[in-house]
């Protein structure tokens, strides 16, 4: 919102000022320019003050026409805005180029800026996982209470933690270095490792990577990895590595072949050789409403057949409800949960997992930009209805409480602060625009009288009342004050041959208009008379408007 506001205040909307479409032809521009020149020409006003005001508005209209009538200037304005025309010591492009060449030059400059940003970007990614063992809440035995006064408190502990972080450092347009590290602990035992990878894009169809690693639980690691697009629908990855330890050298290798079976279905065939050799084949189908996986693995020591189906439901508030069924030689697992976007960069999700022999678990996940926070909570090893109930209801109740008591008030407060800051920053600009609008209305008075006389003589279009700004119609917002300005005169001045057309752009740039509520949603409300009948219409700020229309007619008793 702040960026849009800055753009709105820094650049005059020449299209809105001339009341023309962005695709307007030279004839349309010329017709609108001539009409505004007749209205604001300084020689038509004898009063010194009105003459000065008319001269300022006349120059502004002339400047807008000069820019939009010249193809080169118009192309620069469409891309860069008014700032692109203010060349002080630097040239955006050569002025003799065609509009197409100007756009190509802009795209080239944009690519160069993107490359410079790429050199500075580290793209940090991180994951923090904290596993909680809460089985004592549901799996306590009676003898546990015999020696503990009043039953005691359930024993809840953190039995596993994992922290990983990685950063990327682009070396050239094709080479990238990735530094990653991780720390893990499980039941009091832990370790860590660090890895450095160098990746090079060899062509548009593939890349290669060299990896070096070391850790306290494992020895030095050396690995190679390659990726290659065989066809537009098929790709292959292959990797090999050498793990050095006190027990000797442990080689490993793997390769995966993948193919698009159709628009939403992928097939995978993977072979892995090493300490846990296996061959796996899987088919994955992912659509907007479902995700289905069928996989089979034959290996040492693990072999399994797994089938998973997940149904996805998403509402207008970006809330997704998911459910899945997984079964195989390892058992059966039923999972269901919800995911919701709580801010521009944050997604919160909760998943309940019920399985045999895994038991009942609750998995909480928060994605914040490129950081991921995981909290798997193991509730019970058995299938207990009480554990399922609390795992389902608990996160929902907690989320609703936090949403109502913390998130909603915080977001509302932030919006109010941003809006107040915008108003303060734009106060001087709004005051200037308001003065220009009032001057324009004074200059329109005589023209409006002539237009009204002409329209009344043929029972044409008469603007009785017109307001522009923020209207409060919701009963829940009665404490808010409407912020509107009277634009009856400016709109009547735009009537020609009993017709009024407003282009598809913000009305704040029209002659005689200004923005009475910066940063807020605005509308235009008109009450007009045509052929002796009353009409009324409410139009959005950026919507085009054509009147009169039969659908705007209101009954006399309304």
Q: Which range, 39-53, 99-113, 152-166, 193-207, is most confident? A: 193-207
| 69: in domain | yes
Pairwise CA distance, residues 494 & 161, whole Å = 69
From the list 284, 339, 279, 292, the residue with the least C-alpha distance to 313 is: 339
CATH of residue 18? 1.10.287.110
| Residues 352, 473 share a domain | no
Residues 244 and 333 in one domain: no
Looking at residue 59, the DSSP 8-state letter turns out to be H
Range of 57-66, 148-157, 195-204, 419-428 with top mean pLDDT:
195-204
Query: Does residue 363 lie within any of the structural domains?
Result: yes
Judged on CB neighbours under 10 Å (0-12, 13-18, 19+), 466 is: buried
Q: Give how far the C-alpha of residue 546 lies from the chain's centroid of Cα atoms, to the nearest Å.
A: 33
pLDDT at res. 2: 38
Tell whether the model's pLDDT for residue 1 goes beyond 80. no
Question: Could you report the per-residue pLDDT of 371-387, keeping only the tens digit for each?
Answer: 999 999 999 988 889 99
116-138 mean pLDDT:
80
pLDDT at 89 over 50: no
Do the domain assignments include residue 93? no
- Cβ atoms < 10 Å from Cβ of 280: 18
| The token pair that represents 376 in the structure block | 């798997």
Residue 175 lies in a domain: yes
59: in domain: yes
Q: 85 and 76 in contact (C-beta within 8 Å)?
A: yes
* 238: containing domain: 123-139+156-272
144 in a domain, yes or no? no
pLDDT band at 488 (very low <50, low <70, confident <90, very high): very high
Q: Looking at residue 109, what is its pLDDT?
A: 67
Asked if the structure places residue 356 within a domain, the reply is: yes
pLDDT in the model for residue 216: 75
Mean local confidence (pLDDT), 397-425:
84
DSSP 413-482: HHHHHHHHHHHHHHHHHHHHHHHHHHHHHHHHHHHHHHHHHHHHHTT-EEEEEEEEEE----GGGTTSPP
Per-residue b/e over 382-421, b at no fewer than 16 CB within 10 Å? eebeebbebbbeebeeebeeeeeeeeeeeeeeeeeeebee
Token look-up 């060349």 returns 87
263 and 228 part of one domain: yes
Using pLDDT thresholds of 50, 70 and 90, give the confidence band for residue 116: low
- Residue 68: which residues within 8 A CB-CB, separation 6 or more? 14, 15, 18, 20, 24, 29, 74, 77
pLDDT digits (tens, 9 = 90+) for 519-552: 788 899 999 999 989 999 999 888 889 999 999 9
Domain count, the chain: 4
The pLDDT confidence band at residue 10, using thresholds 50, 70 and 90, is very low
Find the DSSP H helices in 181-223: none
**208 lies in the same domain as 283:** no
What is the pLDDT averaged over residues 283-308? 84
């Amino acid at each position: 919102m702040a960026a849009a506001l800055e753009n709105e205040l820094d650049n005059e909307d020449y299209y809105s000022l001339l009341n023309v479409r962005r695709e307007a032809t030279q004839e349309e521009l010329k017709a609108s320019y001539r009409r505004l020149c007749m209205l604001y020409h300084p020689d038509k006003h004898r009063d010194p003050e009105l003459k000065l005001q008319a001269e300022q508005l006349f120059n502004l209209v002339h400047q807008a026409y000069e820019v939009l009538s010249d193809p080169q200037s118009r192309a620069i304005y469409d891309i860069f805005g008014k700032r692109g025309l203010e060349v002080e010591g630097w040239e955006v492009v050569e002025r003799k180029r065609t509009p197409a060449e100007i756009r190509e030059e802009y795209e080239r400059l944009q690519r160069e800026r993107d490359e410079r940003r790429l050199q500075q970007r580290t793209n940090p990614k991180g994951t923090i996982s904290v596993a909680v063992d809460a089985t004592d809440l549901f799996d306590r035995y009676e003898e546990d209470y015999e020696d503990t006064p009043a039953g005691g408190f359930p024993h809840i502990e953190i039995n596993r933690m994992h922290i990983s972080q990685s950063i990327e450092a682009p070396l050239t347009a094709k080479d990238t270095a990735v530094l990653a590290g991780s720390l893990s602990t499980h039941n009091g035992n832990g370790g860590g490792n660090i890895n450095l990878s160098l990746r090079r894009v060899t062509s548009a169809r593939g890349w290669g990577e060299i990896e070096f690693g070391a850790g306290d639980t494992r020895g030095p690691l050396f690995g190679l990895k390659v990726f290659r697009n065989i066809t537009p629908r098929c790709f292959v990855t292959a990797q090999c590595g050498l793990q050095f330890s006190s027990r000797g050298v442990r080689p490993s290798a793997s390769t995966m072949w993948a193919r698009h079976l159709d628009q939403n279905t992928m097939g995978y065939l993977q072979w892995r050789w090493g300490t846990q050799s296996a061959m796996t084949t899987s088919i994955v189908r992912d659509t907007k409403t479902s995700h289905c996986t069928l996989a089979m693995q034959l290996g040492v020591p693990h072999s399994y057949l797994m089938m998973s189906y997940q149904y996805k439901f998403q509402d207008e508030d970006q809330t997704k409800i998911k459910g899945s069924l997984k079964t195989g030689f390892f058992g059966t697992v039923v999972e269901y949960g919800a995911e919701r976007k709580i801010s521009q960069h944050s997604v919160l999700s909760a998943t309940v997992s019920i399985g045999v022999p895994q038991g009942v678990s609750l998995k909480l996940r928060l994605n914040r930009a490129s950081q991921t926070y995981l909290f798997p909570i193991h509730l019970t090893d058995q299938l207990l209805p009480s554990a399922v109930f609390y795992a389902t209801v608990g996160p929902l109740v907690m989320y609703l409480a936090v949403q109502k008591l913390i998130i909603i008030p915080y977001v509302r407060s932030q919006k109010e602060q941003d809006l107040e800051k915008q108003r303060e920053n734009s106060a001087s600009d709004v005051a200037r625009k308001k003065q220009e609008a009032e001057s324009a209305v004074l200059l329109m008075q005589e023209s409006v009288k002539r237009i009204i006389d002409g329209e009344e003589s043929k029972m044409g279009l008469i603007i009785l009342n017109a307001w522009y700004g923020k209207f409060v119609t919701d009963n829940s917002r009665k404490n808010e004050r409407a912020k509107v300005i009277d634009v009856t005169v400016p709109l009547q001045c735009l009537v020609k041959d009993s017709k009024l057309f407003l282009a598809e752009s913000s009305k704040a740039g029209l002659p005689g208009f200004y923005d009475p509520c910066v940063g807020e949603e605005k509308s235009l409300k008109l009450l007009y008379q045509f052929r002796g009948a009353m009409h009324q219409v409410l139009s959005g700020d950026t919507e085009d408007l054509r009147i009169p229309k039969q659908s705007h007619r209101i009954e006399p008793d309304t």
